[in-house]
Amino acid sequence: MLKEQRPAIPEAIKRSIRQKCGFGCVACGVPFFHYDHVVQHSLVQEHSEDNLTLLCPNHHQAKTSGLLPVEKIIKAIASPYNKNRTHSAGHTLFAAGSKGRIILGSVEFTFDFTRYPNPEGFATFAVNGTALIGMEHEDGNFLLYFYGADESGRDLFIIEQGELVVSTEAWDYEVKGRRFVVRRRSLPGLSGQVVLDLTKLDSGFRVTTGLVLHQGRGLRIKRDRIIVLPQNSTIRDIGFKDCYAGISVGIPKVGFISID
C-alpha cells in the first residue's frame, strides 16, 4: 500500500510565513530555508500558520535529529532573527570553475580565466565606474556580485563577494532550489509582481527579470532583452566573450562599452 502523500502547504500560507520570519531562518536569519512544522505534521495533520516557521538547513536538521529543542524554536519564532534588521543574515552562494558565466535576459557574458588570468575578475555592468554586476575569481572560486533594486533605487537583493543578503523591506522573497524570486505587492488577492528572478548556475548566474539602479542610472532586465537606463537603449541576443569589462553608463570605466 502506497504511503498517503502529504498535501502541499498553500502558497498564501507560505508567503505569510516568509513575511513573518523576515525572509530567513528564525534562529540565524539565513535567507535559504525550509518550511518547518514546529509540532510534527504527522501529529497535527494540517498546515497551520501558528505551527509553521522557517529554518535554514542546519537548524532544520538539528531540530529533526533532536539536537535543537523545540522550545528554542518557539522562542525564536517570538522574535525572528531578521525582523528588527534592515537586511537578512548572509548566505554564501558557492560558484567554482575556470569559466565564468553571467546571463542577463538574452545577453550572455562569459570569461575564461585559464586563458586570461585576472584577479579582479570581470564586470558586466557599471555606473559611473562602479561595478554593479560581475564576478571575481579567487583560488578557483567565483565571488559573485549583483545589486537588485526596486523602482526607488532601494537594494532588495544583494550579492557581494559571493554572499547573499535580502532586504527585510521587500514584500516577498522566495527560494525555489537554485532560483531566487523577489516580488512587490500588486492587486489584493494576487501573488505579487516579480521584480527579480535570478537562478544560480554552477559558474555564475542567470537573471530573467531584474533592475539595477545607482545614481539615477541603471539596467532593466527582461527575459528577451536588457534596457539601459535612463537612455532606454535596448540590447538583445548578443554575447560578450572574454571581456574584462562589459556595459557602462555615466563616467566609463576603462574597457567598458559606454552608453551615455
pLDDT tens digits, one per residue of 46-100: 777 989 999 999 999 999 999 999 999 999 999 999 999 999 999 999 998 889 9
- What's the CA angle centered on 71, arms 69 and 72, to 5 degrees? 70
Count of positions (residues) in the chain = 260
Report the range of poorest mean pLDDT among 3-7, 153-157, 179-183, 189-193.
Answer: 3-7
Q: Cell numbers 518557539 correspond to what residue? A: 74
User: Which of 28-37, 120-129, 191-200 has maximum average pLDDT?
Assistant: 28-37
Query: Letter for the amino acid at 43?
Result: L
Higher pLDDT residue, 11 or 259? 11
Q: Are 59 and 29 in contact (CB under 8 A)?
A: no
Say whether pLDDT at 256 is over 70.
no
Helix (H, G, I), strand (E, B) or coil at 70: helix
**Distance between first and last Cα of the chain:** 67
C-alpha count within 13 angstroms, C-beta hemisphere, residue 181: 13
Q: Residue 6's pLDDT is what?
A: 76
Nearest alpha carbon to residue 93 among 166, 20, 150, 23: 166
User: pLDDT by residue (tens digit) across 191-218?
Assistant: 688 999 999 999 999 999 999 999 999 9
Contacts of 221 by beta carbon, 8 Å cutoff, 6+ apart: 104, 105, 207, 208, 209, 210, 211, 212, 227
- pLDDT in the model for residue 42: 62
Q: From start to end of the chain, where are the E strands?
A: 34-37, 52-55, 91-92, 99-104, 107-112, 122-127, 130-138, 141-149, 155-160, 163-166, 172-176, 179-184, 193-201, 204-214, 217-222, 225-229, 233-235, 239-241, 245-249, 257-258
Note the pTM of the prediction, 2 decimals: 0.90
pLDDT (tens digit per residue) in 218-248: 999 999 999 999 999 999 999 999 887 889 8
- Percent of the chain residues past pLDDT 90, beyond the cut: 69
Kindly tell me the burial class for residue 13, based on how many C-beta atoms sit within 10 Å of its own C-beta (0-12, 13-18, 19 or more).
middle
Going from N- to C-terminal start, the domains of the chain cover 11-78, 93-258
